[in-house]
Amino acid sequence: MDQINIFIDKIYNFLKSLTLAVVLLSLIAFFSAIGTIASNVKFLKDLGLDNVYYSKWFLLLIVLFVINLVLCTLSMIPTTKALFSPKAPNKIFKSKRKDTKTHLINLLKSKKLYIQQKDDLIAAYRYPVRKFAVYGIHLGIFIVAFGALVGSIWGFRGIMEIPQNEASNIVVTRNNYLSLPFSVYNKNFTVSFYHNKDIPSEYKTTGYIIDSTQKIPFSTTVNHPFIHKGIWFYQASYQLNPHDSFIILNVNNSRVQLYLHKPVSIDNAQFYLANLSYYNSKPIALLYVELPQGSASGWIKLGDSANLGPINIVFEQAKESYITILSVAKDPGSNIVIVGFIIMIASSMLIFLRFRRRVYKVEQI
């Protein structure tokens, strides 16, 4: 029986030790670091280390660390308790007054110290709350880890791709897909540019949610998600819709409609539209033209014309249609994580306070 107890004690002491914490944290840090380079190194990638963050044993390391954190925190309680239940004085307070004790207490109180009395001992603490900072930070980390776990079990994260004037309810997650109980209709996606610059200022999707018979309008831009039934939608990215984006070229006075990525041949000439974009808020097209005499390629601005030997082309019209790419996330642990964050920040601020403790023994002369 004793041996079992000793054994359990040993395991407990190991589990709560700083050594284990350091080992676990070092392992977590090491594998995290490997994970950031693994996608560029073949044999690491073959081991699946580029996705190490989602593996079972990485989770196990974190769970072990959290257990270690909890046990370690609990094992500190007796020390803190002892700190606030003074047994021996570290200072003698001598005075000739009769009411020495109340005098000392008033004196300490005027210094805004926290005071404890026990028999003939008077303990005074400056910023006693400082000693709880470590509990707060550890609790915060625990809550964040718990919130993350809740989110990873009951939540999801993925991507939705919705062409303009279409609706979708399919969310593609990291290794699967799921369908939402409602669909999202992309009425319009727009890219805005800064005045006279080719730097985008805003990506915006407007549309509505089709939930049974209801139509709920929304609009979302980067950094401004919208929420429906606990599911968050973010403007993440966009791409041109090749089936619906085209330009109209005037080739030797006849109009040609040229779709993205779809070559068209007219009179020995082959046209290919490789890309559509904006420059100084004006549409530009990346055009490849192949003629029997040779080939030409380059960006052409709306309204510009080009002479390619036997043919003359004018870029007359552009129509871009975009597929909006939304990030979709449901995270039931989100608020738990926020609580953890707040506790962590608040308690870590306490570290800057300077704790002091004096235990007086009162002596009358």
Partner 1 sequence: MYSNILSISNFVYIASAFVLILSFIVRKKSIDVAGKSLFVLAFFIEFLYFTLRFIETYQKGYDYLPVTNAFESFVFFTLCLGFLQTLMIKKTSVFIVLFSSIVISATLLALSIAGFSQHIEPLIPALKSNWLVAHVITSFLAYAAFAINFVASSFVLYSSQKRIDKIVGSIMFGGILSLMFTAVIVSITHSSPLVVGIVFLVLISTMLFVLSFILKPYTSKEWIEKPLVFGFVLLTIGIITGSIWAKYAWGGYWSWDPKETWSFITWIVYLINLHFARKKKSARFLAYLGVIGFLSVLITYLGVNFVLPGLHSYGSN
Place of tokens 């003629």: 291
Q: Which residue stretch of 161-169, 175-183, 224-232, 258-266 sits at the interface with partner 1 (rule: CB under 8 A)?
A: 224-232
Tell which one of 224, 255, 261, 262 touches partner 1 (CB under 8 A). 224
Min CB(235)–partner 1 separation in Å: 8
Tell which one of 223, 253, 254, 307 touches partner 1 (CB under 8 A). 223
Q: Which residue stretch of 92-100, 220-228, 250-258, 272-280 sits at the interface with partner 1 (rule: CB under 8 A)?
A: 220-228
Task: Establish if 60 lies at the interface with partner 1 (CB under 8 A).
Answer: no
| SS3 per residue for the chain | CHHHHHHHHHHHHHHCCHHHHHHHHHHHHHHHHHHHHHCCCHHHHHCCHHHHHHCHHHHHHHHHHHHHHHHHHHHHHHHHHHHCCCCCCCEEEEECCCCHHHHHHHHHHHCCCEEEEECCEEEEEECHHHHHHHHHHHHHHHHHHHHHHHHHHHCEEEEEEEECCEEEEEEEECCCEEEEEEEEEEEEEEEEECCCCCCEEEEEEEEEEEECCEEEEEEEECCECEEECCEEEEEEEEEECCCCCEEEEEECCEEEEEEECCCEEECCEEEEEEEEEEECCEEEEEEEEEECCEEEEEEEECCCEEEECCEEEEEEEEECCEEEEEEEEECCCHHHHHHHHHHHHHHHHHCCCCCEEEEEEEEEC
Task: Establish if 153 lies at the interface with partner 1 (CB under 8 A).
Answer: no
Is the CB of 56 or the CB of 111 nearer to partner 1? 56
First to last CA, the chain: 57
Q: Which residue stretch of 180-188, 199-207, 277-285, 292-300 sits at the interface with partner 1 (rule: CB under 8 A)?
A: 199-207
- The answer to whether 72 touches 21, Cβ cutoff 8 Å, is yes
Min CB(168)–partner 1 separation in Å: 17
Binding residues for partner 1 restricted to 70-99, rule: CB under 8 A: none
Is the CB of 86 or the CB of 225 nearer to partner 1? 225
Number of residues counted as binding partner 1 (CB under 8 A): 45
How far is residue 255's CA from residue 341's CA, in Å, rounded to a whole number?
Answer: 61
Tell which one of 103, 126, 130, 157 touches partner 1 (CB under 8 A). 157
Place of tokens 């002369």: 365
For residue 176, with 0-12 CB atoms within 10 Å meaning exposed, 13-18 middle and 19 or more buried, which class applies?
exposed
Task: Establish if 197 lies at the interface with partner 1 (CB under 8 A).
Answer: yes
Is the CB of 232 or the CB of 355 nearer to partner 1? 232
Is the CB of 34 or the CB of 308 nearer to partner 1? 34
Min CB(54)–partner 1 separation in Å: 8
Tell which one of 166, 202, 290, 316 touches partner 1 (CB under 8 A). 202
Tell which one of 63, 102, 349, 356 touches partner 1 (CB under 8 A). 349
Q: Which residue stretch of 76-84, 211-219, 307-315, 323-331 sits at the interface with partner 1 (rule: CB under 8 A)?
A: 323-331
Task: Establish if 203 lies at the interface with partner 1 (CB under 8 A).
Answer: yes
Binding residues for partner 1 restricted to 18-37, rule: CB under 8 A: 18, 21-22, 25-26, 28-29, 32-33, 35-37
Min CB(201)–partner 1 separation in Å: 6
Residue 101 has which token pair?
Answer: 């004790």
- The answer to whether 320 touches 305, Cβ cutoff 8 Å, is no
Task: Establish if 338 lies at the interface with partner 1 (CB under 8 A).
Answer: yes
Task: Establish if 221 lies at the interface with partner 1 (CB under 8 A).
Answer: yes
Binding site for partner 1 (CB under 8 A): 18, 21-22, 25-26, 28-29, 32-33, 35-37, 53, 148, 157, 194, 197, 199-203, 221-225, 232, 234-236, 327-329, 331, 334, 337-338, 341, 344-345, 348-349, 351-352
